[in-house]
Structure 1
């Protein structure tokens, strides 16, 4: 599960709107929205602490989920593009990557 999906799930379980949560932890509604959409935003530690406190969550777990987001700018570009693609486009992109860098995908190819 991604950080954004986890935050959204826990917020909804507590009956909070994005606006209410944003107001409670003093950040913008759009920031909460982007975090929940996993929209290329990496919350800083202060925001993670505020989210953990307000939603009664384990801060260390949020930190671990946050670390799964790759901070490499090139990877973020690919992730944002992939989110805009339909299934056929994503498959085509993966095929291009495998054709170009096949040896890096050997482990994934064996699983298919």
Structure 2
């Protein structure tokens, strides 16, 4: 057997971003949340737990994942938090996925 000298290559920044967006979209509840927020005329400031049949702690984890990916943003306005799709990152994610699937 011939051993090849192949050096591992670290993922590029763009590949890491694409993977982060993919992870955020990897759960149907998060896809639902993004659809809900994307179809709002302005930021959603209601209680998202009333929109979804899940525990508030579970919802909080999904929102955290979406915020960490950069796909949504939240602004605290006591006693609520306003959630919006981060339009710049959403457009970037759409372009990255389109380019990826075109390979």
Q: Answer yes or no: same fold by TM over 0.5.
A: no
Higher relative contact order (CA 8 A, sep 6+): 2
Which structure has more helix as a fraction of its residues?
1
TM-score of the aligned structures, taking structure 1 as reference length? 0.30
Larger fraction in strand: 2
